[in-house]
Structure 1
Amino acid sequence: MEAKYTSKIGGSDGNDRLSFLPDQIISHILSFMETKYAVGTAVLSRRLEDLWTRVSNLDLDDAPEWEHAIDEREWQFWRFVDKVLGQHKNLNALSRFRFHVSVRYNHSFEVLGSTSFKRELVFGPPIEEIDINIDGGTESGIPQCLRCIPENFYTLKNLKVAKLSGVVLGAINLSVFLPSVKILQLSHVKMKDFESLGRLISGCPALETLHLETCKLQPF
């Protein structure tokens, strides 16, 4: 009995069982993969060509696997990020956004300028986890549209985890209400004033874990 069941769902008879799944289910499965692998599934069949553009999780990591040459790796990574953010069909419906990049040279801005990269990090209401790590500091070639946290971040009602490193927090002049945030980590973050930091922390009534490391003022 078990052998027969395994044959049916495993496709050992040569049939493609994955094709029988609804698009929504396949996109959900792809959401558990690192984004570069989810995008890679587009070459497997015509049906899979754009299913990655509906995933609910984005994991963009400038990992060493891209290329051995650092400069070429930066070119590949930023082109990939531009493609993902440009072609994703519903960025406002993401539940998790992870963006890790190591900037080693100041030519990153030139790399970005060679693409159509104009994407700001604006998060939709459903998002539950934000993990941004810009290694190299905010004085690097990362443009302001990427390293500055948008205002709508401070009113994300479903956000549970916020890990921010190497970004800029502008002056917070509006009410902060992050009722679901339990983990808040700020590392190497630059901010307009410490009053804004106080507003951010006090706006997280459910906060359980707070980590602050090398947070300093920066005049704008």
Structure 2
Amino acid sequence: MKCDRISALPDSLIAMILSYLPIGDSVKTSVLSKRWEFLWLEVSRLDLDAIKYFSRDEEALARFMHMFLELNRGSSCLQKFKIKYAHKSHNPRLLSILSKKIKNDDSINDCNKRVMEWITEVVHRGVQHLDVEAVGIIQSYPGFKNIMYSPSVDFLPKYVYVSKILVSLKLVNVGLEDPKFVVSLPSLKIMHLENISYKNHGGLLIIKMLISASPVLEDLTLDFPDFTEPKEIVFWQEFSFSVPTMPKSNFDLVQGNYFTWKPEEMDLTNVPRCMKSTLVYVKINKLITKEESGIKVVNYFLENSAVLKKLTMFLTHSSMVIQEPESYMKLLTSTKLSRNCQVFIH
């Protein structure tokens, strides 16, 4: 006779195991026995792919979330909430192509409104890790993933700006706006913002506000496809804020072909405080090597980073060694302030 070792475990450990299962499988365990009936409500992680329900039965997802939040009221164990959902496009031609599959705009708006309400509720209940990704409806169907379109924007609930418990905030394709009140994120250690829309083009102001309100921030990743002036990217030269606890930061300065710019126009004379004392790793994903400015960017980091240990750069043209030997040699012979710094070229 086989021994049921799992049932011998304490409820807290079983709930932890259920947290790593797809939520549908966790709910199914409720029929095993009376003891298991509500154990799935004690999961610490909730990972929802609302896109799967959008084309089938979004009401089922709404009923599930309503039940989960109602039964968990006052005793929520939820620590991480991750959701991926679809938002509509403003491209009527593409929408007409998929008209048989896509719900009407009212249905889409209702779904998005619910998602924002769920985010507000879980943050209010003290969730520590919030991960939100919006995917355009057009791109959620096979064959349309690479089509450019203008999505609508769902702005993050303002309650998120004052969470005292939030430790990690990861956002993709959503909107941020100035909440018009003092932002306070005293526990936030991780902040990843990718392809964010900023209301009234106030991106730099909002980013400054968020970072300044996060005194223990350790890991920062920013993606800037929405900015039209590259000079704005070097915002640390203009802002006086500093986060001494942040050893890791990643800035994706330019992505795609949204605009044409001349890198040499960027002022690289001011040296941020972090480069003199804490910057240890730099990764340049797409180095522009056809112009002298590409070399200047590399030299800027090497000549001003006192404790830099590793600089990795990925060239935009793999044949640079043959076609541009002078530029390649300049990269290899750049003056380094940190003698221990290693340079890797790919």
Pairwise same-fold verdict (TM > 0.5):
yes
Which of 187, 199, 202 pairs up with 2:212?
202
Show the counterpart of 1:129: 129
Q: Indicate whether 1:139 and 2:152 are aligned.
A: yes
Name the larger-Rg structure. Answer: 2
Give CA-to-partner distance per residue, 1:54-104, whole Å, 9 cap, x none: 22211112466x7xxx72264554554444444444575421110112347
CA distance in 1 between partners of 2:168 and 2:5 (Å):
36
Segments of structure 1 that go 5 or more residues without pairing to the other structure are: 1-12, 141-146
Tell me whether 1:187 sits opposite 2:224 in the alignment: no
3-state secondary structure, aligned to 2:34: coil
| Higher alpha-carbon deviation: 85-94 or 36-45 | 85-94
**TM-score in terms of structure 1 length:** 0.68
- Whether the 8 Å CA contact 2:43–2:77 is kept in 1: the answer is no
**Which of 201, 212, 223 in structure 2 is aligned with 1:212?**
223
Q: Give the 3 Å change call, closer, same or farther, for CA 190–111 of structure 1 in structure 2.
A: closer
Higher relative contact order (CA 8 A, sep 6+): 1
State the secondary structure of the residue aligned to 2:214.
Answer: coil
What amino acid is the match of 1:209?
L
Task: Specify the alignment match of 1:17 in structure 2.
Answer: 5
Question: 1: CA distance between counterparts of 2:198 and 2:82?
Answer: 21
Distance verdict in 2 for CA 1:203–1:92, change over 3 Å? farther
Q: Does 1:94 align with 2:78?
A: yes
For residue 135 of structure 1, report the CA deviation from its aligned partner: 0.7
40, 43, 50: which one aligns with 2:38: 50
Q: Name the counterpart of 2:19.
A: 31
Equivalent AA in structure 2 for residue 135 of structure 1: V
SS at match of 2:40: helix
Gaps of 5+ in 2: 89-101, 137-149, 228-346
Calculate the aligned-residue CA RMSD, in Å: 3.4
Change (3 A) 1:138 1:157: farther
> For structure 1, which segment, 169-178 or 127-136, has the greater mean C-alpha deviation from structure 2 after superposition?
169-178
Partners of 2:61 and 2:155 lie apart in 1 by 20
CA distance in 1: counterparts of 2:166 and 2:110, whole angstroms:
32
- The answer as to 2:161 corresponding to 1:154 is yes
Cα separation, 1, equivalents of 2:168 and 2:222: 12
Relative to 1, partners in 2 of residues 1:100 and 1:177: Cα closer, same or farther, differing over 3 Å?
same
Partner of 2:46, secondary structure, is strand
Q: Go from structure 1 to structure 2 and tell me whether the alpha carbon gap of 1:126 and 1:113 turns closer, same or farther (over 3 Å shift).
A: closer
From 74, 89, 110, the equivalent of 2:107 is 110
Question: Aligned AA for 1:204?
Answer: S
Equivalenced residues, count: 192
| 3-state SS in 2 of match to 1:72 | coil
95-104 or 16-25, larger mean C-alpha shift: 16-25
**Equivalent residue number for residue 251 of structure 2:** none
- Report Cα offsets for 1:169-216 as digits up to 9, x if no partner: 232222223234333222232333332332112222324322224357
1:149-182, Cα deviation, whole Å (9 max, x unpaired): 2333223334332111232323222222323433
Equivalents in 2 of 1:186, 1:213: separation in Å? 9
Residues 1:176 and 2:183 aligned together: yes
Q: Secondary structure at the match of 1:186?
A: strand
Partner of 1:26: helix, strand, or coil?
Answer: helix
DSSP-derived class of the 1:45 partner: coil
Give the AA of the match of 1:139: S
Q: Which amino acid aligns with 1:196?
A: I
Distance 1:44 1:87 in 2: 19
Q: Distance in 2 between matches of 1:125 and 1:85?
A: 10
- The match for 2:55 is 71
TM-score (norm 2): 0.46
Residue 56 of structure 2 aligns to a residue in which SS?
A: helix
